[in-house]
Amino acid sequence: MLGLQLAESEQRRLESEQRRLESTLRSVQVQRWDGPISSMAKLRTTFEHFFVEALAAVKVTGAARLYMIRGEEWAARQPLTSESYATLLEQSQNLGTTLPDIYVFEQMSGTQTSPLGPPAVHEQEVVVAEEQGEGEQGEVASHARSSAVQADFRCAVGLRDGARCVLCRAEPPLEAAHIIPRIAGEPELLAAGLLSANVPSNGIMLCIPCHRLHDAFMWCFDPSKGVLVADALSHDEELGLVWGKRAGAQLSQPDAAEAAKALGWPPASVWAAGVARFEAAREERHAEAHRSPFACAKCRKRYKSASGIAKHKCSQVRHQLFTPERSAGGGAR
């Protein structure tokens, strides 16, 4: 009986650890090589699991190959295999790293095993998708409309905020960040005074590093206090020096209150909702640090005991940004 209870307890522990690990994984853009479908798919702990997820995201059911492409460098594509996927997972743990797009090349009856030309142009695909009918084609049109909504959101926020990051004033490339995530439920949106997450008053223009750290709840903005920076970020050896100085800073916004309101600058209710999410994420990080107080000083991987970290083999690939309570040697940090 005791053995059965221990086995069940260990199973629950493993399931909890699996859920925690999966919650830290980021999402990547997945697109069919021949168009017209693209979608976001979350990275998974194994290549096999992600392979199935990627094909389902773009509705490919036959034999296929996956490729990683950065920007428009399709000729320098890299096949996504078990080995390269492991590297991709490691890169995803560094919040400042921009992940490549994943393209799915469907092998037509096995006659063409690899692409002979560049991927289809997404802007052209949207026009075709909007002309589709019901059923599966209607789903393509729905995705195109979603892409159009996101394009309108980015355009509106960009026209308001200009061609620089509103926090660090970096120049393009820039992205339109959602203060309240798109996955937020209707009650949260309504409480913040929003009918949709894709309105200019729920967005700000950020450079890619600032956007990634914002979405990871490493910083947020409170109009009365300025920029709030998480301890995990301000104490980081590489990023802390810069981000420590940004604490309390104000974002760049239209000078006049009337102009800000007319252009859709986020109101206090939206900022308050963002701060609430930031604080909830901070509490979860602190709880995780308490549960696993030992951390490698190089790669930041965490362990629950000194014996666990004693067996650690450092990959020197940075994991989630946490403020460790103890270093690999067990001393205070």
Whole-number pLDDT of residue 246: 95
Query: Looking at residue 1, what is its pLDDT?
Result: 61
- Going by C-alpha positions, the residue among 98, 99, 143, 100 that lies closest to residue 122 is 143
Per-residue pLDDT of 51-72, as tens digits, reads: 888 888 888 877 888 999 887 6
What does the domain layout of the chain look like in residue ranges? 17-109, 160-286, 292-333
- Only one residue has tokens 């194994």, namely 46
CATH of domain 17-109: 3.10.20.90
> What pLDDT, on a 0 to 100 scale, did the predictor assign at position 250?
94
> How much is the pLDDT for 17?
60
The pLDDT of 187-194, averaged and rounded, is: 88
Tell me what pLDDT residue 20 has: 56
Mean pLDDT over all residues of the chain?
A: 77
What's the rounded Cα separation, in Å, for the pair 321 and 281?
Answer: 12
CA angle 156, 157, 161 (to 5 degrees): 125
Give the per-residue pLDDT at 232. 82
| Span 281-327, pLDDT tens digits | 888 877 877 788 777 777 667 777 888 777 887 766 555 565 444 33
pTM reported for the whole predicted model: 0.54
Report the pLDDT value the prediction gives residue 122, as an integer from 0 to 100: 41
Q: Encode pLDDT of 236-277 as tens digits.
A: 777 888 999 999 999 998 765 555 666 689 999 999 999 999
pLDDT of residue 269: 94
Q: Among 136-150, 170-184, 194-208, whose mean pLDDT is lowest?
A: 136-150
Given this model, what pLDDT does residue 312 score?
80
Query: Closest Cα to residue 35, out of 54, 60, 53, 52?
Result: 60
- pLDDT, greater one: 128 or 15: 15
Percent of the chain with pLDDT over 90: 20
Task: Please enumerate, as own/partner, the contacts of 278-285 that have beta carbons within 8 Å and a separation of 24 or more.
Answer: 278/217, 278/219, 278/220, 278/228, 278/230, 281/217, 282/217, 282/230, 282/231, 285/230, 285/232, 285/320, 285/322, 285/323
